[in-house]
Amino acid sequence: MDSDEETLEEIVEGHLDDDGLPHGFCTVTYSSTDRFEGNFVHGEKNGRGKFFFFDGSTLEGYYVDDALQGQGIYTYEDGVALHGTYVDGELNGPAQEYDSDGRLIFKGQYKDNTRHGVCWIYYPDGGSLVGEVNEDGEMTGEKIAYVYPDGKTAYSGRFIDGEMIEAKLATLTAVEDGKPQFEVVPGSPVYSFDKSTSSCISTNALLPDPYESERVYVDVSLISSAGEGLFSKIAAEASTVMSFYNGVRITHQEVDSRDWALNGNTISLDDETVIDVPEPYNHAAKYCASLGHKANHSFTPNCTYEPFVHPRFGPIKCIRTIRAVEKDEELTVAYGYDHNPVGQNGPEAPEWYQLELKAFQAAQQKKSRSPDPGRLWGSSPVSPFGGLCGNQSSMDRYRYFIFNQRNMVVLGMFQIAFSTVCVTSGFIDGIFRTESQLGKTRAPIWAGMVNVLVVASIISYVAILVVIVYSSLTLSYGEEEEPSSVPVHVIHTGKALRVSQAWSKARISPASTSGDKDTAATGQLDKPGLISSASSAVKLKRRNEAFLSPVFKQLLAVGVKAFQMLKADHQFIAGQIKMSGQQDDVSPIQCEEEQPFLGFLLVVKAISKPSAIA
């Protein structure tokens, strides 16, 4: 908002010329509290500068001889920015406007600071209004059109200041130099602005919305006891507007004052208004102008509610996908009731919602606290352990492999600790066997050290065994066969889309290669919605085997070597006892042929007779 600078007093901050006029970069504040910061040449604005107006708006650009010329940006107090072409300080030429989030909301021409010619107005929801504006810059005329978010479906006809008065269904066929080309659909009914009130849902309740009719239909819901549901007619990408939620407009106070049974089809539009589809309009035979109220609730929805400016219904809510949906997939939304637990002024939700919420939260807590037993200990026809650990997906298997690898590291640390005990015991034993004063007192101490040595070795063997058994149980994928495909069939039964998985036990026969190449290679059935994890599982299996094979070989080699050393040590002990005159108790040959546990018994016997090795 500019001010009449000639009648305003100025306060100048900056350099002044000999005549006391601003010169160079200065800040000039006017009595209206408008402020200009920029370059001056003997009192005139020249160069880049910016106005700061008292209402919070700004204007910046390049000034020549005290007037804005060329490209400039006017920013409104609400953050909307108008990028336009200025001639002698006035908008003349192409311009674009962007909202505070940087989204394009206007594109067209200006003449003497007023919109001119063919202009486009873009709504945040994806719809747009296009046509040649009148002398006041308003969307008023006989050739104005509203275009739906798909960029094709449109209403073309007479509008007054952007409000649809009388229009027919049309298709946007082309846009040349910013000017749209439309083809009116033959036999189209007449549409007009028909905003609901608190008592009238629509003056033409049985006239469907053409955009919505191409994308959704109503059928029996897959959700138990939910009645009818909303389904997709097409395969749609994420962020696609699918349906509209229109209804009578009532207040929040009215909704809060009545029973939950009467609020089954209510949705909040803003802080003051609630949209409701009451009886009998919740039946398609009575009302089908919009179908958004047919979408059922889910805690894992595929759609969401968003504001929408509809050319016929006015400000309402729409249903927009939050992920890609398939044809005939049921569309669900999260109703978003208050989740306050019972006892804190009561939960603001109907009883059925409370029950489903508790069940969902319990399932989520159980899932987060423990892994899925069906995945961790599922059955597999290729597992050599009677069906243990074979039903995971390839990513689950990799995750459990990392988990097992961590356990192997822990067990390996125990192995190293026990080996350290063995080495230490052997070192001390070697000292006690020398011909020294210390060696003469080795009888009880030396026997105890050997005892520790044997026990540590046994524990070490147990640790190795635990590693082998545990890893075999959790990392077994089978050696004779490889899992084929995992067909995932989408079944329309139950509260939401349910998934039925079945492992294919039959291997791919040579005859199957005569069919589709990709199908024969993966073992999949030629049906949509099937997923194969055979390739990734086989690759992971080979990678795990490549890692585990050398590890087990090394561990087993260490175990065998330790066993051989222990036998040799037992043989030496037996020899020492034999030389001490204890042949009748045990012989070296017997120590070699019997199990290592006899060596342990030998040490115990030696401890009980210290004189034998004194």
Contact 276, 268 (CB under 8 A): no
The phi and psi torsions of 401 (rounded to 5 degrees) equal -65, -45
State the DSSP H helix or E strand holding residue 602, giving kind and residue range, or none if neither: helix 597-608
Asked if residue 331 and residue 235 are part of one domain, the reply reads yes
SS3 (DSSP) at 16? strand
Q: Is residue 223 part of a domain?
A: yes
Q: Is residue 160 part of a domain?
A: yes
What pLDDT is stored for residue 517 in this prediction? 37
349-392 tens-digit pLDDT: 667 677 777 778 787 777 776 555 444 434 444 444 333 344 44
Cβ neighbourhood burial of 160 (10 Å; 0-12, 13-18, 19+): middle
* Number of domains within the chain: 3
What pLDDT is stored for residue 260 in this prediction? 77
What pLDDT is stored for residue 371 in this prediction? 56
Asked if residue 92 and residue 12 are part of one domain, the reply reads yes
What pLDDT is stored for residue 19 in this prediction? 87
335 is catalytic: yes
Lowest mean pLDDT among 323-327, 370-374, 609-613: 609-613
Asked if residue 179 and residue 232 are part of one domain, the reply reads no
388-403 tens-digit pLDDT: 344 444 344 344 444 4
Asked if residue 129 and residue 215 are part of one domain, the reply reads no
488-504 tens-digit pLDDT: 333 333 323 322 333 33
DSSP 185: P
Q: How many CB atoms lie within 10 A of CB 480?
A: 6
d(CA 284, CA 191): 20
Strand 330-333 and strand 296-297: the pairing is: parallel
pLDDT above 50 for 534: no
**Catalytic site residue from 23, 116, 297, 310:** 297
What pLDDT is stored for residue 18 in this prediction? 87
Q: For residue 190, list its beta bridge partners.
A: 168
pLDDT above 50 for 174: yes
Q: Which residue type sits at 429?
A: D
What pLDDT is stored for residue 511 in this prediction? 37
305 is catalytic: yes
pLDDT above 50 for 530: no
pLDDT above 90 for 157: yes
Those residues with Cβ within 8 angstroms of residue 393's Cβ, 6 or more apart along the chain or in another chain: 375, 486, 533, 537
Q: How many CB atoms lie within 10 A of CB 574?
A: 23
What pLDDT is stored for residue 607 in this prediction? 43
Q: How many CB atoms lie within 10 A of CB 185?
A: 15
Q: Is residue 142 part of a domain?
A: yes
Asked if residue 104 and residue 142 are part of one domain, the reply reads no
Those residues with Cβ within 8 angstroms of residue 494's Cβ, 6 or more apart along the chain or in another chain: 222, 223, 224
- Which of 193, 224, 257 is where one domain is finished? 193
Order of strands across the sheet with 248-251? 248-251, 273-276, 266-268
What pLDDT is stored for residue 119 in this prediction? 97
83 is catalytic: no
146-156 tens-digit pLDDT: 999 999 999 99
Asked if residue 186 and residue 242 are part of one domain, the reply reads no
**Catalytic site residue from 30, 211, 305, 477:** 305
Asked if residue 162 and residue 73 are part of one domain, the reply reads no
Q: Is residue 139 part of a domain?
A: yes
Please report the DSSP string for 416-483 in residue order. Answer: HHHHHHHHHHHHHHHHHTSSSHHHHTHHHHHHHHHHHHHHHHHHHHHHHHHHHHHHHHHS---SS---
What pLDDT is stored for residue 572 in this prediction? 58
Contact 36, 48 (CB under 8 A): no
205-215 tens-digit pLDDT: 999 999 999 99
SS3 (DSSP) at 374? helix
Q: Which domain holds residue 323?
A: 210-337
Asked if residue 81 and residue 120 are part of one domain, the reply reads no
**Catalytic site residue from 23, 293, 310, 570:** 293
DSSP 259: -
Q: Is residue 299 part of a domain?
A: yes
Q: Is residue 36 part of a domain?
A: yes
- Which of 168, 193, 218 is where one domain is finished? 193
82-119 tens-digit pLDDT: 999 999 999 999 999 999 999 999 999 999 999 999 99
**CATH code: domain of residue 142:** 2.20.110.10
Whether the pTM exceeds 0.85: the reply is: no
Q: Is residue 506 part of a domain?
A: no
Asked if residue 226 and residue 130 are part of one domain, the reply reads no
Contact 479, 486 (CB under 8 A): no
What pLDDT is stored for residue 52 in this prediction? 95
Asked if residue 232 and residue 326 are part of one domain, the reply reads yes
Asked if residue 66 and residue 131 are part of one domain, the reply reads no
Lowest mean pLDDT among 282-286, 423-427, 554-558: 554-558
How sure is the predictor about 420, in pLDDT bands with cuts at 50, 70 and 90?
confident
pLDDT above 70 for 199: yes
How sure is the predictor about 426, in pLDDT bands with cuts at 50, 70 and 90?
low
d(CA 334, CA 300): 7
Written as six digits, the tokens of 253 are 């106070």
Asked if residue 246 and residue 319 are part of one domain, the reply reads yes
d(CA 302, CA 124): 21
The average pLDDT across 54-80 equals: 94
Q: Is residue 411 part of a domain?
A: no
Lowest mean pLDDT among 492-506, 524-538, 595-609: 492-506
**Catalytic site residue from 245, 281, 287, 353:** 245
SS3 (DSSP) at 402? helix
Written as six digits, the tokens of 534 are 């055979």
**CATH code: domain of residue 310:** 2.170.270.10
- Which of 193, 223, 242 is where one domain is finished? 193
| 270 Cα distance to chain centroid | 28
Written as six digits, the tokens of 102 are 């940087």
**Catalytic site residue from 335, 353, 477, 570:** 335
